[in-house]
Structure 1
Amino acid sequence: MNPELKRIAGRQGGVFSRRQASDAGYTPAEMRERLAQGKWERIRYGQYAERTDWTGIAPWEQRLRRHRLLIHAAMNAMHRGSAVVSHHSALVLHGIPVWQADLEEVQLTRVNARAGVMAGVRHHQARLPPEDVTTVEHLPATSVARALVEVASTATFAAAVISADAVLRRPEVTPADLWRLAETTEHWPGSPMIRRALAFANRLSESVGESRTRILMRDEGLPPPQLQVEFADAEGFIGRVDFFFPEYGTVVEFDGLLKYGGNSADALIREKLREDRLRALGLEVVRITWQDLDDPARVAAMIRRAFARGRRTSA
């Protein structure tokens, strides 16, 4: 890519239009050649990007990167000032995790347009107050708080909470911001879900897995746990656990190996020693993995068995 087109694409998330490539000096034949050779790829009609090797990148991260390209391509095809990135697309730009979202569909909000889906873009119609619009990656987008309530109004409870937990960890977002938006959206069809998700959200859930585990516990009728509790013994600090049920002497961890950066031998040893020290305090320890979350009843049974053991120990 020549320097001029590289500069243009750099401000557009790596995306450029056919017209921009032409203005940068590429002929139609040169464009076709680069596409045929796999040097460029078509993101949507008339919008392209240099092909990038994503080998070794986790599939979920690849889907997020692909969605960012789709967002920039959709916005690059719009008249400037006619649309704002919104809903789950805005959350992706803000770096907020999304769950069960259709990442092949870009979400935009426009003032003067009919709502509906066209060419992989879902258009929403709304007048956005200035305080609910910001700029992310050189694009106008709804604020992180506004994007959350937009998603929560149409998402499942789990999807809304997973994003809400992450939004609450953002320093620029206050509870007042979220409840202002909850009041603003009081008459939206999805208003009850917004309020339910905000009431349950907890900034101490530090990952998608922890959020899903907490939702599972709620759905399965388990008591509310304490989050991010620290433990120490005679040797010093042991660590911070994801979930603690003090009345049952039970700790629940979601994929604790991630605390140590992967599944290396050293990480396994550190995690085993950490778990041994927790058990030496008389605690039951239950470990939950991604695969476990697909069987909520089994997970709940594991935790309840730990409760029973913890009670006997304390007795």
Structure 2
Amino acid sequence: MLNDHLRRHDGVLTLSQARLMGMSRSAVHRRVRSGLWRQCARGVYFVDDRPFSDAARIRVGVWSCGETAVASGLTAAWWHSLTRFAPNVVEVTMPRNGSGRAPRGVRLRRRNLASEDIVECKGLRVTSRPLTVLEAAVRTRDGAKIMDRALQADVALRDLWRAQLRNNGRYGSPSARVLLQAASDGARSTAERLLLRLLREAGITGWQANYPVGRYRVDVGFKGPKVAIEVDGLAFHIGSDEFHQDRVRQNHITLLGWQVLRFTWLDLTEYPDRVIALIKSAISM
């Protein structure tokens, strides 16, 4: 039992877990004194016959805060494989009435979470994927990418909105709402507004929003150089019918002598300088 637990939990166990497997407190202490086990925090141990991995460090950080603690923020994002690198500081959320202090290397936040926002993943209590996406997306420069990848994979937009509404008022809630609005049905209009703001800030003139080209309208049109700009919202999904109609539309505009530039929400938020440079190059030809 013990070896199986250690294999599945990165070599980390708590005193209560050891007791459930039939070990006495004195047996645990003997292993610590002999150097076989390392005490990492009060009641949390690491069996020192393997590398102390990032996963082990995170387990220790969460379990050291008690049975009601959950990994959250960027820590939960890494645990859910939403990000590539484990954060240096372990982020933990526990109920407001929970007892205990954050040990070194742990950032502790006290907030009551709904049961829907807590899951067990690989033997560790963590925030659910929807709440994790919302919290991680506002904590890093690549936040829009985190939300985009999650939406393109297995997280439903409605579940993100539900998690947002259950946790209104938390740190980063307003910023998460902006991303959610960009991912909703109004994504195109949100992306369009962002594009127009970038054009104004760059001092680019001579364009018109919602410009008519043939029997269609493009998001932004430059009449003189005949440059049309189209934007897609966050997590842009398109079915086969929509894909076909979109290509018919773009081909029609191109045959009228217009150059079409297409940008995504991620282009506008993550690479605005590149977007502006391409537009300037196109309208100067």
In structure 1, the partner of 2:279 is 304
Q: Does the 8 Å contact 2:62/2:90 carry over to 1?
A: no
Q: 1:11 aligns with which of 3, 8, 11?
A: 8
Check if 1:107 corresponds to 2:87. Answer: no
Unaligned stretches of 5+ residues in structure 1 = 36-41, 54-64, 203-213, 230-244, 254-287
Aligned amino acid, residue 138 of structure 1: G
> Following superposition of structure 1 onto structure 2, how do residues 88-103 of structure 1 map, counting pairs within 5 Å?
88-97=74-83, 103=87
Unaligned stretches of 5+ residues in structure 2 = 185-190, 200-228, 239-252
Change in CA separation of 1:17 and 1:186 when aligned onto 2, cut-off 3 Å:
closer
Aligned length: 214
- The superposition leaves residues 84-106 of structure 1 with CA deviations (integer Å, 9 ceiling, x where unpaired) of 2222211211111279xx81111
In structure 1, the partner of 2:68 is 82
Answer with 1 or 2: which has the greater Rg: 2
Q: Does the 8 Å contact 1:134/1:142 carry over to 2?
A: yes
Measured in 2, the distance between the counterparts of 1:228 and 1:16 equals 44
Q: So what's the TM-score if we normalise by structure 1?
A: 0.52
Give the drift of 1:159: 3.8
Which SS does the other structure have where 2:74 is aligned?
A: helix
Q: Does the 8 Å contact 1:91/1:147 carry over to 2?
A: yes
Aligned amino acid, residue 179 of structure 2: A
Q: Does the 8 Å contact 2:63/2:69 carry over to 1?
A: no
> Following superposition of structure 1 onto structure 2, how do residues 253-268 of structure 1 map, counting pairs within 5 Å?
none
Q: 2:198 aligns with which of 206, 218, 221?
A: 221
Which SS does the other structure have where 1:96 is aligned?
A: coil
Measured in 1, the distance between the counterparts of 2:9 and 2:91 equals 17
Which SS does the other structure have where 2:198 is aligned?
A: coil
Measured in 2, the distance between the counterparts of 1:12 and 1:122 equals 22
In structure 1, the partner of 2:225 is none
Give the alignment's Cα RMSD to 1 decimal.
4.5
Which SS does the other structure have where 2:135 is aligned?
A: helix
Measured in 1, the distance between the counterparts of 2:51 and 2:196 equals 41
Give the drift of 1:144: 0.5
> Following superposition of structure 1 onto structure 2, how do residues 150-189 of structure 1 map, counting pairs within 5 Å?
150-152=135-137, 155=139, 158-171=141-154, 173-189=155-171
Check if 1:248 corresponds to 2:249. Answer: no
Give the fraction of aligned pairs with identical amino acids, expressed as a percent: 19
Q: So what's the TM-score if we normalise by structure 2?
A: 0.56
